[in-house]
Structure 1
């Protein structure tokens, strides 16, 4: 519904300026006192992230911020990178995460915009016909938008809160992805180091076998086996180096590094395994803390408010009102005559075909769609938490089994095989087979340890959210920042 004030030239009663002032006073009374926050809504995000994972978040909004971040990046890269250092680096230097923070700022702008009354429209029309000159001035204000201003502002506020939760979720996701990438890169580097040592041993064995073959002490078959073993280890090393390079690049992307920063240092092996965590109520903690669930609930609240607004204005939106005044000046004989007829213009749309039921039905279906998706997500969150915890416990047991049992046994087997070979109790084939099995077990142990650290990340993020593609994907329709004030 729009209020249209039309005046042709000057009208004696309440001039358009006074009427416009009156409209402005009403608008100010209906509007709230919403203003922009100094940091674009980042303070709650920073507090939540700091409390949950103990890391800082920074929104780069000025050249001074960029300089500060550059200094922190240099400090973090001055020494070999740790897992915590990689996470902190990603949270301040990853530009994709900065884009998520910009989305939060956009949502805040939509909130502030929704809390402001609509600007009145002023139009001027000049018509000259023969000796007559007619001037028409219009002041148009959207009365329906003014009436629904508090409701629309409340909806936008809820959406802004949901956007904050999405920003927190994006931060958790970036932290988890950076930590996973770090463990993969370090594990790949450790695998390369182990295979380099294994190739040195295989090269020495192949060389010794070849020299013994020249004296006739070793058969040609054993020489071929030793040479093949060296070639196979060399191939495994080449593949491991390729994986190490790609894993390092994945980490580099997460950290947002380029140029001279690409020479950052990683440790040679994974850290020692920590004690396992014990959580009694995994599902309850996940449902209570998951930021994606919190955001989905807030978006559902905003959608419910939008549905209520649509039902409340379904008939009012069909009404258009206006005020009109005219002034005509006749200049044929040099004299002026004025007349100021006053009146109120009212237009009413006759609801023959659509009583507003279309918007109401659409809103209800969208709302119920969001409800069902939220319920589905809550079920999935419980399952994801249970699954992550089971994987975490199992991967811990597997890694411990390699560390405490399999690798010590492999060392014993290698020592005994070498003794028996020196005593001519076994041939080269058995010795090389034992060596290959030992290499496989050591690589599997590194992989198991890497998988445990990654499962730790998965388990922790299954509780707080934002840990992966399933937790980070947005689901359901997003309500517009300012709900429509009406429709036909």
Structure 2
């Protein structure tokens, strides 16, 4: 009986060296520690799993500001856990890139009285030769996956802050619209009494009733928007269907005293945009892969081994080599594919850099425009509307106009208040988007210049918004 033993890479000693070289490990803690290092100062630390009911109640005990909302989402939101789970796919690829493929064991027996049994074990030579390059490419792709996940987390933090801003603004607008609807209802009631007494026409009564109906619909629309924004924020926080025992502050913050300059934001974006870092890491990986394909694509079909044979007590041994003949393919497809991927990666980096320039410049322009709009409302339109109401009140006191003209002036003042609140909201929405473009935060994000006015600040002491109240 004859037995043959064939070992890839030239014997057991060579196999041992190869196995020692294949020493990649899975990333510690699923890559969370590396993500925390990438995002330090821009997002909360990542945690595993939801908090317990006691921890959740403690987190919801006070009003949620934007940063507390982001921290809560990091603990409770399935979106965050999904992003981290997807990173596990990349960690598996990293592990695989630094490991040799498993040995192939084969066995066979030839029939007959003097049958021969063969045993074989082998690996492709290309695995050994390309292992260092494949490990390097795997690490580059892992860095790209980390950066892509970090960018997704930055985007999610921005989306959470955006939902928070929309909800707080909707709460303020709904409160204002309720006051307007109440005033319009009182006006319509007064008009009905005046009409019954013969003091106003049916046309004027119809106008006041129509105005009250419109105010009711606007108040209902504002309540619906408040509910929709609350549900959107609850879903973003991971609380939808779990808890309604949370609240936000009653007012938006006012804008910071100044906005960052162009050079600061461009520099920060260039250093902190994780999608750009991911694109550069993928470019490096694809460049390495293209170089590897040019030089070693033909190695894939070579197997080198060692044979040992025993027959009738006699042992024979010697090297073994098998080679795919490159008659029909010489690695052209691999080289072409790798080159195309490298070129795509290079242009993707260039496109992201162009987009970054546009987004930063456009974002700063929107921020400056919105700041100017807020200043116009604060310094011009609202004082002008308040002055109009004051003068109309004087004219009403001297019976130069009727009560309905005064009410109309007051409602136009309310509309200016609502537009002011919405202008502050839009400023913060633009600022959150610009912060996202710049990598997560902007200088001055943590130093607002105060709070937007509350309803009592806008409408004055209780009773001042009553259309029948005389100043």
Partner of 1:470: none
CA distance in structure 1 between the partners assigned to 2:188 and 2:239 by the alignment = 42
Tell me whether 1:182 sits opposite 2:164 in the alignment: yes
Superposition TM-score, scaled by structure 1 size: 0.83
Listed as ranges, the matches of 1:16-415 within 5 Å are 21-31=12-22, 33-51=23-41, 53=42, 55-60=43-48, 65-67=49-51, 71-127=54-110, 129-281=111-263, 282-326=265-309, 337=312, 342=317, 344-415=319-390
SS at match of 2:429: helix
Give 5+ residue unaligned stretches, structure 1. Answer: 1-6, 329-336, 468-488
Residue 418 (str. 1) matches residue 418 (str. 2): no
Rounded Cα–Cα distance in structure 1 between residues aligned with 2:47 and 2:91:
14
Q: Deviations over 1:79-102 (max 9, x none)?
A: 222122112112222221222222
Stretch moving more, 94-103 or 34-43: 34-43
Asked if the contact 1:97–1:170 (Cα under 8 Å) also holds between the matched residues in 2, the reply is no
Residue aligning to 2:457 = none
Q: SS where residue 29 of structure 2 aligns? A: coil
The answer to whether the 8 A contact 1:226-1:432 is kept is: no
Cα distance, 1:223 vs structure 2: 1.2
The DSSP-based 3-state class of the residue aligned with 1:371 is helix
Q: Distance in 2 between matches of 1:416 and 1:17?
A: 98
**Is the CA contact 1:104–1:160 (under 8 Å) kept in the aligned structure 2?**
no
User: How many angstroms apart in 1 are the aligned matches of 2:250 and 2:317?
Assistant: 88
Q: Per the alignment, do residues 86 and 356 of structure 1 end up closer, same or farther by CA in structure 2, a change over 3 Å counting?
A: same
- 1:440 matched residue in structure 2: 415
Stretches of structure 2 lacking an aligned partner (at least 5 in a row): 443-471
Going from structure 1 to structure 2, the CA distance change for 1:321 and 1:183 (only over 3 Å counts) comes to same
Q: Which moved more, 1:113-122 or 1:219-228?
A: 113-122
Structure 1 Cα separation of the partners of residues 9 and 325 of structure 2: 33
Match of 1:3 in 2: none
Corresponding residue SS for 1:78? coil
Q: For residue 113 of structure 1, report the CA deviation from its aligned partner.
A: 2.5
- Kindly tell me: are residues 305 and 94 of structure 1, through their superposed partners in 2, closer, same or farther at Cα, counting changes over 3 Å? same
- Shift in alpha-carbon separation, 1:16–1:280, aligned structure 2, 3 A: closer
Deviation digits for residues 8-54 of structure 1, max 9, x if unmatched?
5377xxx96997632432213433x4433432222232133232x2x
1: CA distance, partners of 2:139 / 2:9: 32
Kindly indicate whether the alpha-carbon contact (under 8 Å) linking 1:398 and 1:448 is maintained by their aligned counterparts in 2. Answer: yes
Change (3 A) 1:177 1:17: closer
What is the aligned partner in structure 2 of residue 452 from structure 1? 427
Is the contact between residue 229 and residue 432 of structure 1 (CA under 8 Å) also seen in structure 2? no
- Is 1:9 the counterpart of 2:17 in the alignment? no
TM-score, length-scaled by structure 2:
0.86
Say whether the 8 Å CA contact 1:222–1:428 is kept in structure 2.
no
- Provide the residue aligned with 1:4 in structure 2: none
Q: Deviations over 1:348-373 (max 9, x none)?
A: 33333322222212211221121112
Q: 2:331 and 2:166 mapped to 1: Cα distance?
A: 57
CA distance in 2, matches of 1:81, 1:66: 18
- 8 Å CA contact retained: 2:4, 2:119: no
Shift of 1:322: 4.6
Q: Which residue in 1 is equivalent to 2:460?
A: none
Work out whether residues 57 and 92 of structure 1, in 8 Å CA contact, stay in contact via their aligned partners in 2: no
CA distance in 1, matches of 2:149, 2:8: 44
Shift of residue 339 of structure 1? 5.9
**1:49-82, Cα deviation, whole Å (9 max, x unpaired):** 232x2x422241xxxx5446x5543322112221
> For residues 135-174 of structure 1, what are the alpha-carbon distances to aligned partners after superposition, in whole Å with 9 as ceiling and x for unaligned?
2211122221111111111111111112221222122111
1:119–1:319 CA distance, 2 compared to 1 (3 A)? closer
Aligned residues: CA RMSD: 2.7
* 3-state SS of 2:119 partner: strand
Give me the whole-angstrom Cα distance separating, in 1, the residues matched to 2:343 and 2:217: 57
